[in-house]
Amino acid sequence: PYTTLFRSLMAKLVAFTFADGVDIDMEHLSPFTNNFEGSDEFAALIGFITELRTQLDTVRENWVDTAKARRTAMNSTYQSLESWKKQNVKDYYESSIRYLGEVIEQPVPYLEISWTTRFNAFLPETDKWNYLLPDSGHMDKPFESDLEGEHIWPKSGDKIDTINVMAYDAGTPDGKSLRFNFSTILSNFRVQGNVNERKINMGFEAGEQAAGGIWEGEEADEEATRDIVRRNSGGAMIWAINPNEKQHPQAAKLCPILAKNLQGILNPTYAWGPAPTFKIGRAHV
């Protein structure tokens, strides 16, 4: 029942905020599945994705009507306020009502479902460390999350629009870090997982990383991104866009630089039809 409530809540959140989709960041399901009766995390995620796709399609069908109803309600609320209250909240209401008008004018967006998973979601049975470079640090045992994609993709892949691959955040017991062959990771998804590479964004993390990971550096990420272009893969993503400069001073400085440099290599375009355009100006309320 909680899964049913959660997917309904997520669909309502998209409708309420006019977001363009949902990212499902659940990349460590193996340690928690089948620990007790009814705890099949993979079955729960597959059910969540399946129903969410259906509900997002309904949200899309009602997109314009929802925006119109919201604009009418906000206008009514604003006009009913006393003059001094109107003055206090004028900027919020005017900007929100203007935005809703622009939502109504835009083409109804496609509502995306993206799935964030780790670099080891798909692996060949004969070489489960094939994605490591020769100078990589090494683990003393396999990851518990190995092959999680095999549980999810065959039943949910047709409903997932984008995969964000976490190719970072992996220190090793010897104090080093895993060093990835990004091209091999992409090949594993395509060959072992039967995933269309156009759906895949390779994930990089500049600066400090959690779990003892060490960034491979700007040059390596840029070369991996050029390979993404050559392979006609989907693109890249960077974690995170807003690192705390006190907690992660290097990441706070380097992530924006990396994003700008990778943008110049990828020349990204809007993935789902025409890109929305929003005007600058004041609303009439």
Closest to 197 (Cα-Cα) out of 159, 219, 167, 230: 230
Please give, one letter per residue, the 3-state secondary structure of 108-137: CCCCEEEEEEECCCCCCCCCCCCCECCCCC
Going by pLDDT thresholds of 50, 70 and 90, the confidence category of residue 142 is very high
CB 148, CB 118: distance < 8 Å? yes
| pLDDT in the model for residue 279 | 79
Enter the pTM of the model. Answer: 0.91
Q: How confident is the model at residue 43 (pLDDT cuts 50, 70, 90)?
A: very high
- Predicted confidence (pLDDT) per residue in 152-210, tens digit: 999 999 999 999 999 998 999 988 999 999 999 999 999 999 999 999 999 999 999 98
At residue 211, does pLDDT exceed 80?
yes
Per-residue pLDDT at 283 exceeds 50: no
Give CA–CA dist 181/171, Å, rounded: 16
User: What per-residue confidence (pLDDT) applies to 6?
Assistant: 75
| More confident call, 273 vs 224 | 224
Could you give the CA distance from residue 280 to residue 132 in angstroms, rounded to a whole number? 48
* Average pLDDT of the residues in 221-225: 98
pLDDT above 70 (res 253): yes
pLDDT score at 21: 96
SS (HEC) of 69-94? HHHHHHHHHHHCCCHHHHHHHHHHHH
* Amino acid 4: pLDDT: 67
Q: Report in angstroms the alpha-carbon separations of 175 from 122, 171, 180.
A: 26, 7, 16
Q: Does 265 score more than 50 pLDDT?
A: yes
Cα separation values, 67 from 4, 21, 64, 281, 284, Å: 25, 16, 5, 19, 16
Tokens 């990396």 locate to 258
| pLDDT surpassing 50 at residue 101 | yes
pLDDT at 281: 55
At 4-41, the pLDDT tens digits run 677 789 999 999 999 999 999 988 898 888 777 778 89
CB 79 within 8 A of CB 130: no
Whether 257 shows a pLDDT value over 80: the answer reads yes
pLDDT range class, residue 280, cuts 50, 70, 90: low
- Quote the percentage of the chain above a pLDDT of 70: 96
Q: What is the DSSP string of the chain?
A: -HHHHHHHHHHHHHHHHT-SEEEEE----GGGTTSSTT--HHHHHHHHHHHHHHHHHHHHHTHHHHHHHHHHHHHHHHHTS-HHHHHHHHHHHHHHHHHHHHHHHSPPPP-EEEEEEETTSS--TT-TTTTB-TT----SS--TTTTHHHHHHHHHGGG--EEEEE----B-TTS-B--B-HHHHHHHHHHTT---GGGEEEEE--SB-GGG-B---HHHHHHHHHHHHHHT--EEEES-SS--TTT-HHHHHHHHHHHHHHHHHH----SSSSPP----S----
Q: What length is written for the chain?
A: 285
- Residue keyed to tokens 């597959």: 46
Percent residues over pLDDT 90 in the chain? 81
